[in-house]
Homo-oligomer: A and B are copies of this chain.
Amino acid sequence: LIPSPTFRKRGRPRSTAARDNVLRATLDLVEQQGYGPLTMEGIASYAGVSKQTLYRWWPTKGAVILEALFEQAADRLTEPQADCGSLQADLLHFLEAMLDVLGGTAGMMMRGLMAEAQRDSEFAAIFRVQFVARRRAILITLLEHGVDRGGISKENDFEMLADLTLGPIWYRLLNGHLTVDEAFVASLVTAVMRAAGAQA
């Protein structure tokens, strides 16, 4: 059945103001005080929204943040991967786009979300599918596309190559022993290319 577009649900429609306030408040609060002290109670209070409304639409603190994050980065995330001419250039472009997102508030959120995913398995599923897996899939597509253009063999384990690329980034992000900057990303691309057996 195709829901008639003229069909209007009964009752008061969902307040877009409430939703916007919540997402905005979430971003503000994370920016101000970081991920740790962020609470559902705090979000509701800051957004001028009742806790009930919060729980009605988002099951978890992480879900709120996730949606806030998508809302914020919607444009950047949906942009199609441009073909930069070579696999190496594509990878570089892909990772530098991640840098933008991971820098600043979003990076703090990502760390918090990954932490959240470790203890809330229900949230973990959402997080992995909606966020991590998505970018990983794009990366794998990119790598496979590299085979066609020559340069790397199709014998490669592309899952492994993806982990080899994203793993170190997450590792530095979560562990904080070194910064994740452009130089690192460039170096990483080179390393991955070599690991993939690309001819110099």
B136 touches A163 (CB 8 A): no
The 0/1 profile, CB within 8 Å of B marked 1, for residues 51-78 of chain A is: 0000000000000000000000000000
Q: Which chain B residues border A184 with CB–CB below 8 Å?
A: 160
Stretch at the interface among A83-91, A94-102, A191-199: A191-199
Check if A20 is an interface residue, CB within 8 A of chain B: no
The SS class assigned to the A binding surface is helix
Copy number in the complex reads: 4
Interface residues of A in 172-194 (CB under 8 A from B): 172, 174-178, 184, 187-188, 191-192, 194
Inter-chain CA distance A132–B178, complex, in Å, is 13
Stretch at the interface among A40-48, A118-126, A142-150: A118-126
Q: Which chain B residues border A164 with CB–CB below 8 Å?
A: 164, 167-168, 188, 191, 195
**In chain B, what residue has the closest Cβ to A160?**
B187
A163 touches B168 (CB 8 A): yes
Q: Which chain B residues border A111 with CB–CB below 8 Å?
A: 118
Q: Which chain B residues border A174 with CB–CB below 8 Å?
A: 114, 117-118, 170, 174
Check if A151 is an interface residue, CB within 8 A of chain B: no
Q: Which chain B residues border A168 with CB–CB below 8 Å?
A: 160, 163-164, 167-168
Binding site for B on A (CB under 8 A): 35-36, 111-112, 114-120, 124, 128, 132-133, 136, 157, 159-161, 163-164, 166-172, 174-178, 184, 187-188, 191-192, 194-195, 197
